Amino acid sequence: MNEKFKKIIGLVLAVTLSVVIFIFRDKLVDFESYGYLGIFIISVLGNATIILPVPVILTAFLGGGIFNPFLVGLVSSFGATIGELTGYIAGRSGRVVIKDNARFEKIEKWMAKYGLWTIFVLAVIPNPAFDLAGIVSGATKIPVWKYFLVTWAGKLIKFLGFAYLGSGSSGVIDKFI
């Protein structure tokens, strides 16, 4: 199989997965009844979308109020990092799709100036721009293991924070559940 065909297939799969997850995002809540496994699955699928927002942070917040917040943060961050690989794959396979996007170019400049710190900071703060950071990372051929570790470190901080916020709000959560 030639390299161009592989890139096209990777891009098509990443975009298709994003669209399917976005369409069925309301069904993701059903996985929460499966405990940590459900939180993991929601985190993978919710972060596998490219550009289309799925509120996975809410899962960590609610999960932290129900389960051990440290484990929720750990499971959520690992699942989210796996899900973010779709953006990386899209970048490796088809940068041309969003090359002329102003946000893409801004993140590309940040990456050139600050390197992996850009990925880390964008992974820590809740924002939809992280998908573009993954695409830039793939397009610039950052080794996948470096991308994965830095993304996970940032996501771990973020999801631990939301899980512990949820654990502190467990009385409020109980009123709604």
pLDDT digits (tens, 9 = 90+) for 148-165: 999 999 999 999 999 999
Query: Distance between CA 124 and CA 127 in Å, rounded?
Result: 9
Which domain covers residue 124, as residue numbers?
3-171
Tell me, what's the pLDDT at 8? 56
Q: Give Cβ neighbours of residue 142 (< 8 Å, ≥ 6 apart).
A: 116, 119
Q: Give the distance from CA 43 to its chain's centroid.
A: 7
In the chain, which stretches have pLDDT less than 70?
1-33, 50-55, 94-100, 170-177
Query: Distance between CA 136 and CA 154 in Å, rounded?
Result: 17
> Which ranges in the chain belong to alpha helices (H)?
3-23, 35-47, 56-66, 69-94, 102-114, 116-124, 130-139, 144-168, 170-176
From residue 94, give the alpha-carbon distance in Å to each of 11, 60, 151, 160. 6, 32, 21, 33
The model's pLDDT over 72-83, given as tens digits with 9 standing for 90+, comes to 999 999 999 999
Q: Give Cβ neighbours of residue 116 (< 8 Å, ≥ 6 apart).
A: 142, 146, 147, 150
- In single-letter form, the type of residue at position 100 comes to D
Inside any domain, residue 44: yes
Rounded to two decimals, the pTM is 0.75
Tell me, what's the pLDDT at 72? 93
Inside any domain, residue 33: yes
Total domains present in the chain: 1
